[in-house]
A and B are shown apart, each in its own frame.
Chain A
Amino acid sequence: MTLRPDLAAIAAHVAPGSRVLDIGCGDGALMAELESASGCDARGMELDGALVERCVSRGLSVVQGDANVDLANYPDKAFDYAILSQTLQTATRPDLILDELLRVGRRAFVSFPNFAHWRTRAALMFGGRMPVTRALPVSWYETQNIHHVTVDDFRELAKAKGAVIEQAWFFANESGIGASGANWRAEFAVFELSR
């Protein structure tokens, strides 16, 4: 099974044998990869019960829970890595989630769709409507993405939170691109943070 590019970048940079919490783990694709390829002890959290059932059915340890409230029960630094992939923009308070990530994990990976990508800018600029793009395919009234964020916004939030950006990866057209001009060139971004 091929991982989504942002997940593949994360999988490639998690140290083998680590303890990992994947928040918003979906069907568990990343967890399965981390367990089988890297010998990690992977745990997951997912809101959607049907996805949790699929994860547990395939032998993964996943808790049905809401990252907005259920992260509070994990002890400090319980994990080597806390991972939040494509979920930050759905959180009630992304800033508080980021705090929790950096509390329960020694390091955190965060991936999100970049709202400042040129397609999004163009759609808004010339169409005058909320963008519906490859990266953000759902209409404004149905989307789970309630807090759109850009690469530069995220960098600023990380700084405000006292987090160190260890590494960052950017993607467009399903492949990696350089960091220069990432705020308008990247469809997706992945950050590795520590504090």
Chain B
Amino acid sequence: MAPAGSSPVYHLPHPLPLDSGQALEGAQIAYETYGTLAEDASNAVLVCHALTGDQYLASPHPITGKPGWWERMVGPGKPIDTDRHFVICANVIGSCMGSSGPASLGPDGQPYAMRFPVITIRDMVRGLVALLDGLGIERLHAVVGGSMGGMQALSLAANWPERAARVLVIASTARHSAQNIAFHEVGRQAIMADPAWAAGDYYAGDARPDNGLAVARMAAHITYLSEAGLTEKFGRRLQDREAKGFGFDADFQVESYLRYQGSGFTRRFDANSYLYITRAMDYFDLAEEFGTEEHGGKLANAFAGTEARFCIVSFDTDWLYPTSESRHVVHALNAAGAKVSFVELSAPHGHDSFLLEHDQLDRVVKGFVEQ
């Protein structure tokens, strides 16, 4: 794993308390900012990244050299306009691009590996709130996130309601379903079945569980795309050959594509981070967090009394976090009397649509953030 780029790093002044009851000593958070913070700190927009994302929101990734993951959305004159807003994107706790995670060194000078405490989405957000404190930002103009980033936005709105005036949640959910957990478990088992994983203790050696991590990414990648999108892009077309090979090479283009996705991913991501972050997502159930012993979880409780404006966006071909999950959040927000917008956009590309070219999404994001 290459070290993180030149991102500034915020060293938390206090141990970070965690939902597990543990606390993370000496935690640090790597982040990027774009634009200029207003004197009254009123123009800050926090963008939360997805499972395998990072802080390189609108600037080139130091390992892959590729453009920032949401450069089409964030920048001067873009829907999230850095001429007007101070945009922050931080690597979540548990990840591997400069923030504290299993690859970081523990108090004994050795990598944490599986000694890193299990974290939750709320723990990630607790880290982000600490960063906002450090940056002197009391109230965000908006918090924005897609997929796992949307979970963080919802968690921030529910747990720190005074910290954001607007909450924009795209292609996300307030809880991980059995199917979501099941797919993640396939990925984790692929990593842990790789002999190079070595119970997570692979940082000192030469071998890394790249094969396992690549398979995990391949399985997950299928869930990010729609069947129609895969069919349109690859169909049953063969890869660089005229006829089937009667072997187990990548005969089909779709196989070759997945293999490429898998191996590319291992160059920029730590397998243990993948375990920890998928776990955090699986544990996410906002209603459960706000449930009482007598009444159990009720999502509307999470948003009781909120004064923030919400905007929820889903995509019609997203089967990972389908529209029904977004609607569930919207109903809870309606029940809580929150000011909410919701739209299901049409897009052929499944869950990944939120990262791709989509004029309607651009207009919705701009309209909501500027309102």
A43-B339, A74-B334, A75-B335 as given contacts; A64 in contact with B344, CB under 8 Å: yes
CA distance A41 to B344 in the complex (A): 23
Is there an interface contact between A59 and B370, defined as CB atoms closer than 8 Å? yes
List A contacts of B363 (CB < 8 A): 53, 56-57
Q: What residue of chain A has the Cβ atom nearest to residue B360's Cβ?
A: A53
Is there an interface contact between B311 and A56, defined as CB atoms closer than 8 Å? yes
List A contacts of B332 (CB < 8 A): 73
Is there an interface contact between A74 and B370, defined as CB atoms closer than 8 Å? no
Is there an interface contact between A56 and B339, defined as CB atoms closer than 8 Å? no
List A contacts of B335 (CB < 8 A): 73-75
Restricting to A2-56, which residues have a CB under 8 Å from any CB of B? 41, 43, 49, 52-53, 55-56
Looking at chain A's contact residues, the main secondary structure is mixed
Is there an interface contact between A63 and B330, defined as CB atoms closer than 8 Å? yes
Interface residues on A, range: 20 to 34
Interface residues on B, range: 20 to 34
Is there an interface contact between A49 and B346, defined as CB atoms closer than 8 Å? yes
CA distance A70 to B337 in the complex (A): 14
Q: Taking the complex as formed, is A62 at the interface, i.e. its CB lies under 8 A from any CB of chain B?
A: yes
Tell me how far the C-beta of B314 lies from the nearest C-beta in chain A, rounded to whole angstroms: 9
List B contacts of A57 (CB < 8 A): 363-364, 366-367
List A contacts of B181 (CB < 8 A): none
One digit per residue, 1 when the CB lies within 8 angstroms of any chain B CB and 0 when it does not, for chain A 55-78 equals 111111111110000100111001
Is there an interface contact between A61 and B339, defined as CB atoms closer than 8 Å? yes
CA distance A185 to B6 in the complex (A): 75
Is there an interface contact between B341 and A63, defined as CB atoms closer than 8 Å? yes
Is there an interface contact between B370 and A49, defined as CB atoms closer than 8 Å? no
One digit per residue, 1 when the CB lies within 8 angstroms of any chain A CB and 0 when it does not, for chain B 285-322 equals 00000000000000000000000010100000000000
CA distance A53 to B330 in the complex (A): 16
Given contacts A57-B366, A63-B334, A70-B331, 8 further A-B contacts (CB under 8 A): A49-B345, A53-B360, A56-B311, A60-B341, A61-B309, A64-B342, A73-B334, A75-B337
State the 7 A-B residue pairs at the shortest beta-carbon distance, nearest first.
Answer: A59-B371, A57-B367, A73-B331, A57-B363, A63-B342, A73-B334, A52-B343
| Partner-A contacts on B (CB < 8 A) | 309, 311, 327, 330-332, 334-335, 337, 339-346, 360, 363-364, 366-368, 370-371
| Partner-B contacts on A (CB < 8 A) | 41, 43, 49, 52-53, 55-65, 70, 73-75, 78
